[in-house]
Amino acid sequence: MIVPKPVRYEIRQGRFVLDRDTSVTASPPLGEVASWLRGELSPVVGGELLPGPGSGTITLGLRDDLPPEAYRLSVAGDGVVIEGGGPAGVFYGAQSLRQLLPPAAFRKASAGGPLVLPAVLIEDEPRFGWRGCILDVARHFMVKQDVLRFIDLMALHKLNVLHLHLTDDQGWRVEIKRYPRLTEVGAWRKESQTGWNGPMDGRPHGGYYTQDDIREIVAYAARRHITVVPEIDLPGHTQAAIAAYPELGNLDTPLEVRTTWGVGVNVLNVEESTIAFFQNVFDEVLELFPSPYVCVGGDECRKDQWRDSPAARRRIRELGLRDEEELQSWLIRRFDDYLAERGRRLVGWDEILEGGLAPGAVVASWRGDLGAVSAARAGHDVITCPNTSVYFDYRQGTGEEEPVPFGTVLTLEDVYAFDPIPGELRDDPAEARVLGSQCGLWSELIDSNRHMDYMAFPRVAAFAETVWSPPARDLADFRLRLTAHLPRLAAVGVEYRPESGPLPWQTRPGVPGRPEDRARWQAKIDAWTSNIRS
C-alpha cells in the first residue's frame, strides 16, 4: 500500500518484528539517513534504536549498479535491508519502509509493544528527476515551522524540489542585508482582498524569513534530499520591491505594497541601476540557496508602463530591439548571463519565450503544453506545470461548499490522469528535454496552514505518483492504496479534503467549526489508527 506506487512490489512469506531491540546500521556515507530513520522509529517502539547489533537489524547500504535515487528494500524474518544507488535512494527506501508500518506509527507515539512488518521485496526508482511543488509564501506568508512541516510531507511523497516563491506584488519574504527596506517596507501590506474579487479584510498582513531562517529551511530540506529553488520575480510582480525602493519603478508617485490580486501594471524599469540592484540581491540569494537552479519569474509582465516610458523607448532604440517583448527578453538574458557566470541555471515561466529565449534558460511551462513543446524542440530543458492540471489553488469540486470556489474544477482524478510529458512530445527525441513537473500551491486565496492542507491533500499524493511511478495509470489501484494512505496523513495532523466533500469547518478557511463536528472527525481518525499492530 505504498504511495507513490513502486515499480516492483512483491509480497513474500514471513514477517519482521520491530521493537526497542532493533538496530539500524549504516556505512558512514549513510549516517545522516540512518540518524533520520532512528528518529522516526525510536518513538514508535518506545526506546532508542541502537546503531550496533540487536535482535533484528535494519541495514542501510549503497550499490554501484543502481541509479542515485533508486532503491531496493527487502524485509525478511532475519532483518531489513535497504540499498540505494546513493543516499537519496536509501532515504526513499526508508520512506517506503515507514509506509509498511500501521498508520498510528506516524504519530511517533509508543505502541507499547513490538510492530510487525510484512516480508516484501520492493525495487523502485523515479520516472523523473524533477518532482516539485511550488509553495507561494509571497501572497500569504507561511511561518518557518510550517514550511519545515510541508517539507516533511513532500519527503513522505518522494518529492525532491521545493520551488519557494519568495517575492511578488503583495510581499517580499527574504531578508537582503544590503537593501533592508525590502523587508522593512516590502514584507508588509495594510490589508488583503478576500476572495478573488471580494472586499478588503482590513487586517495588516506580513512577515519574512531572516537569512538564518533560510539557511535552516535549506539545510532541513537537504537532509530530506529536497532542493529548494528560490524565485525572485522580475520584471513584473515587483510592486513590493518598488514600494520599498521607488527608483526601481517607472512612476514618479510612490506605491504601496499591493493589497489586491491579479496581474498588476507596475513593473521594473530597465535602467542599469535597476539591473545592478537585482544583481546585488541575487548575490545574497545565491549565498543562501546552493540550488543549481534559480527562478527569476518573467511571467505576466505587462508592458504598459514601458510603452509610456521615454526611458524604456530610448532603451529599445539604443539596443536595436523591435519592441517591448524583445526588451523583456534582453533583460532576462542579462540575468541568464549573470547566473551562468556563477554556475547556476536560470528558470523562467513560459512567457520568457516571447521575444526570444535566453540561451541557457529552463522553461517552466504553465499555460498549457505549447510552451513546453516549442522550448523542448528548440533544445531547452522544460518543467511542465500546466495550470489546468496541477494548480492546487483551483477548486476540487463543483459545489459552492468549497471554501473558495476559484478556478476550474481540478479533481483528484484529473490530477492522477496528468502526464508530465505533453502528448506532442511522446516518442519525439525532444521528450528527453522534460526534466519533470511540479504542482503549484498559489496562496492568494490560501490564507492559513489548515486551508493549505485542504487544498494540497490528497491531490499532492496523486501528483507524486505521476512524477515518480511508471506512466501506466490504474485509478482503482491508486484509490485502494490511497485508502491506506489517508490515515497516515490524518495521524500527522493533515486536514485533507475528504472525497465526499469538505467537512463542516472546512467550508470556511480558518474557522474551527462546531466542537461536535471536530469530535466526530477525531473519532474517525482514532478508529483508523487505534490498533497500531493491524
Is 237 designated active site?
A: yes
- Say which of 237, 380, 451, 485 is annotated catalytic: 237
Strands 434-441 and 130-136: parallel
Q: Residue 278 is which amino acid?
A: F
What one-letter code names the amino acid at 89?
Answer: G
Q: Which of 19, 40, 168, 169 is catalytic?
A: 168
Catalytic one of 300, 337, 354, 517: 300
Q: Where are the alpha helices (DSSP H) in 185-323?
A: 211-223, 239-244, 272-288, 304-308, 310-319
Q: Torsion-angle region of residue 274: left (phi > 0), alpha (psi -120 to 50) or beta?
A: alpha
Contact 96, 122 (CB under 8 A): yes
Name 318's Cβ contacts closer than 8 Å, sequence gap at least 6. Answer: none
What pLDDT does 534 receive? 36
Q: Are strands 115-124 and 8-18 parallel, antiparallel or unpaired?
A: antiparallel
Q: Are 226 and 137 in contact (CB under 8 A)?
A: no
User: In the prediction, which pLDDT does 169 show?
Assistant: 98
242 and 248 in contact (C-beta within 8 Å)? yes
Say if residue 230 is preceded by a cis peptide, omega within 30 of 0.
no
Q: Grid coordinates representing 315? A: 532603451
pLDDT at 446: 95
Return contacts of 310-317, CB within 8 angstroms, 24+ apart.
Answer: 311/250, 311/269, 311/270, 311/271, 312/250, 312/269, 312/270, 315/270
Question: Does the CA dihedral 463-467-468-471 come out positive or negative?
Answer: positive
In this structure, are residues 73 and 95 in contact, taking their beta carbons and an 8 Å threshold?
A: no
Confidence (pLDDT) at 516: 52
Verify whether residue 300 is a known catalytic residue: yes
Computed over its alpha carbons, how large is the radius of gyration of the chain?
24
Residue found under cell 519527503: 155
Residue tagged 489501484 (cell numbers):
477
Question: Mind listing the pLDDT tens digit for each residue in 111-140?
Answer: 667 889 999 999 999 999 999 999 999 999
Query: 519: number of CA atoms within 13 Å, CB side?
Result: 3
Q: Which domains are present in the chain?
A: 8-124 (3.30.379.10), 130-475 (3.20.20.80)
Determine whether 215 is exposed, middle or buried from the number of CB atoms within 10 Å of its CB (0-12, 13-18, 19+): middle
Which amino acid is it at 234? L
Name all contacts of 383-389 with Cβ < 8 Å and 24+ positions apart.
383/130, 383/132, 383/347, 383/434, 383/435, 383/436, 383/437, 383/438, 384/420, 384/421, 384/422, 384/434, 384/436, 384/437, 385/134, 385/437, 385/438, 385/439, 385/440, 386/418, 387/440, 389/414, 389/415, 389/418
- CB within 8 Å of 2: residues ≥ 6 apart: 9, 96, 99, 100, 122, 481
- Please give the grid coordinates belonging to residue 186: 516590502
Phi-psi region of 339 (alpha: psi -120 to 50; beta: other; left: phi over 0): alpha
Report d(CA 259, CA 264) in Å as an integer.
Answer: 11
DSSP of 283-346:
HHHHHH---SEEEEE--S---HHHHH-HHHHHHHHHHT-SSHHHHHHHHHHHHHHHHHHTT-EE
Residue 370: phi, psi to the nearest 5?
Answer: -60, -45
pTM of the predicted structure, to 2 decimals: 0.94
**C-alpha separations of 180 from 186, 211, 238, 285, 323 in Å:** 9, 12, 16, 14, 34
Q: What is the pLDDT along the chain (534 residues), one digit of tens a residue?
A: 899 999 999 999 999 999 988 999 999 999 999 999 999 999 988 888 877 666 689 999 999 999 999 999 999 999 999 999 999 999 999 999 999 999 988 987 766 678 899 999 999 999 999 999 999 999 999 999 999 999 999 999 999 999 999 999 999 999 999 999 999 999 999 999 998 889 999 999 999 999 999 999 999 999 999 999 999 999 999 999 999 999 999 998 999 999 999 999 999 999 999 999 999 999 999 999 999 999 999 999 999 999 999 999 999 999 999 999 999 999 999 999 999 999 999 999 999 988 778 778 999 999 999 899 999 999 999 999 999 999 999 999 987 778 888 888 999 999 999 999 999 999 999 999 999 999 999 999 999 999 999 999 999 999 999 999 999 999 999 999 999 999 999 999 999 999 888 987 787 554 444 455 445 544 554 554 444 333
**DSSP-derived secondary structure letter, 6:** P
Dihedral sign from CA coordinates of 475, 481, 483, 487: negative
Nearest CA among 363, 346, 237, 366 for reference residue 294: 346
DSSP bridge pairs for 133: 162, 439
Side-chain half-sphere CA neighbours of 179 within 13 A = 29
Q: CB count, 10 Å around CB of 21?
A: 15
